[in-house]
């Protein structure tokens, strides 16, 4: 039986239902910053519920994943627009067009080298952008692999999911790519990994949206997989809570989940039906915050 302990949840309306809150991260200013994927805006939410949003140059660029940069600004991908964006905590936006046409940038993370690293799902590449806008691209040696999520690993490499070939990749600063295939598909169902994050245990944790599993990979490529109680839950994004556990969204089941390093899974229902949780991040208040594509951001208790 699924383990469903109670945990307080508060929802904050941040947009209309058509705007599509999607990615979310904690900013250096003590607020939560999120993308509005269908509206071409970046939003800011204080822990007290105050909402501000800023328009991008294009309303149809598809801002997707957002992360805090090493320069005190927020950096984000525009999947449809083929751009990397930067927004200061005061709302000033700068945009950088990618050199590759239809690159489809999606995941983004701060790297150990003071640059931002991102995936190019449409071009099978990993990109790097310095804080002054210089872009370099590195090819992934698997055509049609659709690089998706990306995270800085404990070993100095950038780790990323390869959604369409059921694998996890690792990119060294030199540009060398190592690919780790996931275990054989179960019952013909692809794993289709999406979100990935580094845990406090020094492993990379990822979600398998196709197979309804949470995966854990050590830097030497060893894999453990944990099946969700509902294999049709469609886990999408994952993030550490800073206390040893990983939290993830269940886009297809209207829940968020929590998994401990030893594989225990707890799940928490969202109060609004069909709210479509996507990005998730630890907030400055110790709670976990998730963007709901139907127009809200949800806060789940403190994580002690």
- Residues carrying an active site annotation: 278
Q: Across the strands, what pairs with 259?
A: 246, 265
Buried b (16+ CB within 10 A) or exposed e, 214-245: bbbbebeeebbbbebbbeebbbbbbbbbeeeb
Say if CB 144 and CB 124 are below 8 A apart.
yes
- d(C-alpha 119, C-alpha 274), whole Å: 28
Residue among 163, 149, 166 at smallest CA distance from 223? 166
3-class secondary structure, 107: strand
- φ and ψ of 121, to 5 deg: -65, -35
- d(C-alpha 50, C-alpha 46), whole Å: 5
- 10 Å CB burial of residue 29 (0-12, 13-18, 19+) is middle
Record the tokens describing residue 165, joined without a space. 């070939």
221: left (phi over 0), alpha (psi -120 to 50) or beta: left
Cα-trace Rg, the chain: 18
């Amino acid at each position: 039986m699924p383990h469903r302990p109670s945990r307080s949840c508060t929802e904050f309306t941040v947009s209309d239902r058509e705007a599509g809150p999607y990615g979310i991260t904690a900013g250096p200013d003590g607020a939560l910053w999120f993308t509005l994927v269908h509206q071409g805006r970046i939003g800011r939410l204080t822990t007290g519920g105050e909402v501000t949003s800023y328009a991008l140059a294009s309303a149809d660029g598809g801002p997707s994943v957002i992360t805090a940069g090493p320069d005190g600004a927020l950096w984000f991908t525009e999947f449809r627009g083929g751009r990397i964006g930067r927004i200061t905590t005061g709302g000033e936006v700068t945009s950088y067009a990618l050199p590759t046409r239809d690159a489809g940038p999606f995941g983004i993370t701060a790297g150990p080298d003071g640059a931002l690293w991102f995936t190019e799902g449409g071009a099978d590449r990993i990109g790097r952008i310095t804080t002054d806008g210089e872009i370099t691209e590195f090819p992934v040696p698997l055509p049609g692999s659709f690089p998706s999520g990306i995270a800085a690993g404990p070993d100095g490499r950038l780790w990323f999911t390869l959604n369409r070939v059921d694998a996890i990749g690792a990119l060294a600063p030199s540009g060398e790519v190592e690919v780790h295939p996931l275990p054989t598909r179960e019952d013909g169902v692809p794993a289709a990994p999406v979100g990935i994050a580094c845990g406090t245990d020094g492993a990379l944790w990822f979600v398998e949206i196709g197979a309804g599993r949470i995966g854990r990979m050590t830097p030497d490529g060893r894999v453990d997989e944990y099946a969700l109680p509902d294999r049709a839950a469609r886990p999408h994004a994952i993030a550490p809570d800073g206390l040893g556990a990983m939290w993830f969204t269940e886009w297809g089941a209207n829940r968020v989940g929590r998994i401990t390093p030893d594989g225990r899974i707890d799940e928490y229902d969202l109060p609004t039906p069909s709210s479509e949780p996507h990005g998730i991040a630890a907030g400055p208040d110790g709670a976990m915050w998730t963007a709901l594509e139907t127009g809200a951001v949800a806060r789940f208790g403190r994580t002690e």
